[in-house]
Chain A
Amino acid sequence: MHEPQISRRSIFKLVAAASAAGSLLPAGAEPPKPLSKHVNNPFSDPDYNNPTIPWDKPMVASELATLTVLVDLILPADEESPAASAIDLPDFLNEWVGAPYAENREDHDTIRGGVSWINTHAYKLHGREFKDLAEAQQTAILDTICDPAKAAPELAYGARFFQKLRMLTLGGYYSHPATWKALGYVGNVPIAGPYPGVPEEIIKMLGLEGL
């Protein structure tokens, strides 16, 4: 068999480097001559490796402080994975609500309006804004709004806010690699040779023998 000029093993290393900066030019090919302008449009032709976020993050410090408390109540730290705020979920939410797309514009109102709502609600109940309450007071409020099917009608707005915030927090949190091992995602690593397939343990569990 004809040996490839770059062995598979070194390719694995090279690829990691190439996706960051360099390239893997085939022998004999010439480097590109920059006659073509890279018509960079951050929306339709982004720089894959150094993307910019082409819109503003609208939320201010006080809103982010409330969200910090909220996202950590939704996804707190444990032995296996970080608290949501530790991977800067509030900043992600700020990026999310600033985006120009219809879905994000709607979420903008739900999230910012919801932060104000929960602070007003906390004030009415305890005379303080949400983030300054004791944790037991905070979870007592969340328990009244966390399930939209069970929330009292006068808390419907809070329930809708929490439902949206919970789903955005779940999405933002588990799409961050710091959470993957705990979740059970172990991919995004190269494997040499044939694809190994399903471990025997799982074949047995699911009765997949002989398929």
Chain B
Amino acid sequence: MAILTDRKSLREYDVIIVGSGAGGGMMGMLLALNGVKVLMIEAGRNYDPQKETPMFNTPDKAPLRGKGTQDRFFGHYDATVGGGWQVPGEPYGDKPGTEEEFWWWRPRMLGGRTNHWGRISLRFGEYDFKPKSRDGLGFDWPISYTDLAPYYDKAELMVGIYGSTEGLENTPDSPPGILQPAPKPRAAELLIKKYSKGLNIPVVPIHRAVLSEPMDGPARAAKLFPNNPSAQRIVGNDMSMRAACFWATTCGRGCSIRANFQSTTVLIPPALQTGNLDIITDAMVREVMMDANGKATGVHYVDKITRTDAIAKARIVILSASTCETARILLNSKSALFPNGLANGSGQVGKNLTDSVGSSMGGHVPELESLPPYNEDGAGGGHVYTPWWNYKTQEKLGFARGYHIEMGGGRYMPGMGSLAILDQKAPGVYGKKLKEEAKRYYGAVVGFAGRGEMIPNENCYCEIDPNRVDQWGIPTLRFHWKWSDHEINQATHMQNTFAEIINSMGGKATPKPGKEALNKPGEIIHEAGTAMMGSDAKSSVVNSFGQTWDVKNLFLMDASILPSNPDKNLTLTVLALAWRSADYLLDEMKQGNI
């Protein structure tokens, strides 16, 4: 799909964007639609979701029945190319003295993690922008919900999100005409809702970046680009060509009919149609190049195919290489003017690293045994969730901030582990009786996963490892981590809540203490904060538009700039921030300020 640029015929560019995921993809599209000449540089290989997505392939066609392995953590068919927790030849490490080992997820493909993400798309609420003012912890944002709300509207209109409006505290509703209807819940989801009601735990439709109906492209594009006829035409046509979800297959494989959001199916195609975007793949950026006056002039990258160094130049550089990689590029861009790394006058680059607090539990539910079969595939992910519901009793809980619960159960496509429950429920059984037991227990389980807010702390950060380079000769990152009691107590609360729900459903669950039940740092793959935005150059790396305080023509556009990491998975916020930054940048360019 991508029009790949021959490296020898690179044009003059206005803007270089490093990375093609959520932040880079959105920026690239908006700038290209506005006539800016953009070069996107991506470390991974070209990836064409319409050709490569194994949507309907069954487990028997894959090695080990498609099961997850060290090499392919989410299974053979998962749309992660060239990486995962490890990228061959690109190591990272732990700083001596760290309490926990950080896990760093990286793909190497056009579109980055947007090809295989969970598509859960929740707006941050008004409290989430001012956490320090509310409880004295962490950092306030230099902007508030109302500043970002119009950009959430735009991002949601562009991407296409299903969900509902519920009027819940700190869980913003979208204005009418933006969300598409949420799909009906499945049996297990309704049963969880039924029993959660008795525990005063709300269960409502989740918001996901999946089209539940076709898009009316021209109408949406007219709202999004009122003064830009060519953008209306290109985006309007392209949106209308996206099909609605057909309620089969899992979204983690990607979506060749373009019903879910991927940078490669939603942002890059219209951007390419403008003729203003060029992309080079297999190009790993080492550092940002600077002139004597402290202005960015371009980037220095390694062409991975020829293993030669190359340079690309532009008036403006935007780093969207993902939270930790953006920090790595800055820290590796050392010069006489910037001895501690680029844009690091505050000393905050690499600091304040957070991930979501994660903990999960599964349980057997007798009522779900032997149900008549019906098609439960649905939207390739959850249809419902529980937003944080304890704002009123927060002070008594022993931790600040909240979590949401993702949940599911029932009869999904069987894989290697789908009948693992028989080891306990039907030991010793074989022969025809075993087939009866399989039918009885298949799908009679529910699962819960908590995703909570971590508060930035000084023990959690990444920095350049002084002793190690990767196979491209680029110094690698090492991580340091220590959970605070807030996260540990929150995970304990998650465990107790999940056990309570499962037990009320007739299952038998035993909660674990938080420390044992906490996922690894990085494992939830919601890293943020390594180049925080703020209101001044002393305490933060960028302003609210992602513009670095120290270098005017250098912008950061991914989750590295988030000052807090609320429980509401961060990608939609990255997309909204990118839109706000693009508007600002276009304006600054027009005025001749940059």
B199 at the interface (CB under 8 A from A): no
Q: Hey, what's the 0/1 contact readout for B168-192 against A, CB within 8 Å counting as 1?
A: 0000000000000101111100110
Least distance between A156 CB and chain B CB atoms (Å): 14
- Evaluate whether A148 and B427 lie within 8 angstroms (CB atoms) in the complex, with A11-B257, A101-B69, A171-B417 already known: yes
Q: Hey, what's the 0/1 contact readout for B415-436 against A, CB within 8 Å counting as 1?
A: 1111110110001111110110
Inter-subunit contact B247/A191 (CB<8 Å):
yes
Q: In the complex, what distance in Å separates the CA atom of A59 from the CA atom of B377?
A: 37
Inter-subunit contact B269/A29 (CB<8 Å):
yes
Q: Mark out the residues of chain A between 177 and 211 whose CB falls within 8 Å of any chain B CB in the assembled complex.
A: 177, 179-180, 182-192, 194-199, 201-203, 205-208, 211
Inter-subunit contact A211/B190 (CB<8 Å):
yes
Least distance between A170 CB and chain B CB atoms (Å): 5
Count of A interface residues, CB-CB < 8 Å? 97
Q: In the complex, what distance in Å separates the CA atom of A203 from the CA atom of B189?
A: 12
What are the residues of chain A within 8 A of B83 when measuring CB–CB? 44
A113 at the interface (CB under 8 A from B): no
Q: In the complex, what distance in Å separates the CA atom of A47 from the CA atom of B432?
A: 37
Q: In the complex, what distance in Å separates the CA atom of A188 from the CA atom of B77?
A: 14
Chain B residue at minimal CB-CB distance from A179: B414
Q: In the complex, what distance in Å separates the CA atom of A163 from the CA atom of B193?
A: 36
Q: Mark out the residues of chain A between 22 and 60 whose CB falls within 8 Å of any chain B CB in the assembled complex.
A: 22-30, 32-33, 35-39, 41, 43-46, 48-49, 51-54
What are the residues of chain A within 8 A of B249 when measuring CB–CB? 188
B367 at the interface (CB under 8 A from A): yes
Inter-subunit contact B57/A24 (CB<8 Å):
no
Inter-subunit contact B184/A26 (CB<8 Å):
no
What are the residues of chain A within 8 A of B416 when measuring CB–CB? 171-172, 175
Least distance between A50 CB and chain B CB atoms (Å): 9
A142 at the interface (CB under 8 A from B): yes
Segment at the B interface, from A1-9, A61-69, A122-130? A1-9
Q: Which of A22, A48, A171, A188 has the most CB of B within 10 A?
A: A48
What are the residues of chain A within 8 A of B273 when measuring CB–CB? 28-29
Q: Mark out the residues of chain B between 312 and 327 whose CB falls within 8 Å of any chain A CB in the assembled complex.
A: none
One of A33, A99, A174 near B442 (C-beta < 8 A): A174
- Evaluate whether A18 and B256 lie within 8 angstroms (CB atoms) in the complex, with A186-B373, A206-B367 already known: yes
Inter-subunit contact B241/A188 (CB<8 Å):
no
B45 at the interface (CB under 8 A from A): yes
Least distance between B430 CB and chain A CB atoms (Å): 5
What are the residues of chain B within 8 A of A170 when measuring CB–CB? 419, 422, 434, 438
One of B4, B247, B415 near A190 (C-beta < 8 A): B247
Q: Mark out the residues of chain B between 202 and 258 whose CB falls within 8 Å of any chain A CB in the assembled complex.
A: 212-214, 216-219, 236-238, 240-249, 256-257
A19 at the interface (CB under 8 A from B): yes
Q: In the complex, what distance in Å separates the CA atom of A73 from the CA atom of B190?
A: 38
Q: In the complex, what distance in Å separates the CA atom of A205 from the CA atom of B70?
A: 41
Chain A residue at minimal CB-CB distance from B53: A19
One of A74, A171, A190, A202 near B372 (C-beta < 8 A): A202
The contact size tier of chain B is 35 or more
Inter-subunit contact A146/B430 (CB<8 Å):
yes
Least distance between A137 CB and chain B CB atoms (Å): 15
What are the residues of chain B within 8 A of A28 when measuring CB–CB? 237, 273
Q: Hey, what's the 0/1 contact readout for B513-532 against A, CB within 8 Å counting as 1?
A: 00000000000000000000
Q: Which of A19, A30, A146 has the most CB of B within 10 A?
A: A19
Inter-subunit contact A48/B247 (CB<8 Å):
no
B50 at the interface (CB under 8 A from A): yes
- Evaluate whether A184 and B247 lie within 8 angstroms (CB atoms) in the complex, with A44-B83, A208-B191 already known: no
Least distance between B390 CB and chain A CB atoms (Å): 22
What are the residues of chain A within 8 A of B398 when measuring CB–CB? none
Least distance between B129 CB and chain A CB atoms (Å): 33
Least distance between B591 CB and chain A CB atoms (Å): 33
B294 at the interface (CB under 8 A from A): no
Chain B residue at minimal CB-CB distance from A36: B46
A147 at the interface (CB under 8 A from B): yes
Q: In the complex, what distance in Å separates the CA atom of A33 from the CA atom of B540?
A: 42
A167 at the interface (CB under 8 A from B): yes
Inter-subunit contact A142/B439 (CB<8 Å):
no
- Evaluate whether A175 and B1 lie within 8 angstroms (CB atoms) in the complex, with A43-B71, A187-B248, A196-B375 already known: no
One of B88, B184, B245, B432 near A41 (C-beta < 8 A): B88
Inter-subunit contact A206/B187 (CB<8 Å):
yes
What 8 pairs across the A-B complex have the smallest Cβ distances?
A147-B428, A197-B184, A190-B246, A187-B377, A195-B183, A184-B373, A48-B54, A171-B416
